[in-house]
């Protein structure tokens, strides 16, 4: 989204006027945090892995569509939960692609020969 898009969304949803500078500063700070999270080191073994999806409504090309955000939450050997990945599924998903999706969400946790139940 552009700065103008964000400004229009804030005006439309909340009735507030926000400067381009504030939007740029907040966006830059969020992007810095996102990159740090994306590049963080991960454990090699996660004995427990939860895979789930959150359905959200998204405006796309003038239509409101239901989209899935797939997530993988791993529990490491110390018993701490770590969000492994978030994947936004834009096009429709098929049940036959579930194992591929699960491997993608797991971020390479499963070798190709692993059975997913």
DSSP assignments along 19-75, one per residue: -HHHHHHHHHHHHHHHHHHHT----S--SEEEEEEEEEEEEETTEEEEEEEEEEEEE
Q: Answer yes or no: do 9 and 55 share one domain.
A: no
Residue 112 resides in a domain: no
Q: Domain count for the chain, please give it.
A: 2
Q: Answer yes or no: do 97 and 70 share one domain.
A: yes
What spatial distance separates the first Cα and last Cα of the chain, rounded to whole Å?
38
Q: Residue 41 — pLDDT band, cuts 50, 70, 90?
A: confident
**Arithmetic mean of pLDDT, 16-38:** 90
For 47-72, the pLDDT digits (tens) are 888 888 888 888 888 888 888 888 88
Q: Answer yes or no: do 55 and 34 share one domain.
A: no
Q: Answer yes or no: do 82 and 56 share one domain.
A: yes
- What are the residues whose beta carbons fall under 8 Å from the beta carbon of 93, sequence distance 6 or more? 68, 101
pTM over 0.75: no
Residue 111 resides in a domain: no
Residue 8 resides in a domain: yes
Domain span holding position 69 = 48-106
Q: Answer yes or no: do 55 and 29 share one domain.
A: no
């Amino acid at each position: 989204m552009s700065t103008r898009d964000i400004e229009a969304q804030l005006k439309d949803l909340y009735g507030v006027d926000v400067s381009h500078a504030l939007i740029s500063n907040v966006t830059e700070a969020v992007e810095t945090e996102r990159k740090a999270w994306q590049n963080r080191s991960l454990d090699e073994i996660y004995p427990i892995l939860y895979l789930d999806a959150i359905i959200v409504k998204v405006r796309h090309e003038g239509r409101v569509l239901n989209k899935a955000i797939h997530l993988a939450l791993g529990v490491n050997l110390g018993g701490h939960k770590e969000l492994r990945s978030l994947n936004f599924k834009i096009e429709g998903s098929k049940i036959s692609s579930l194992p591929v999706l699960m491997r993608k969400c797991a971020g390479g946790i499963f070798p190709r020969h692993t059975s997913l139940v």
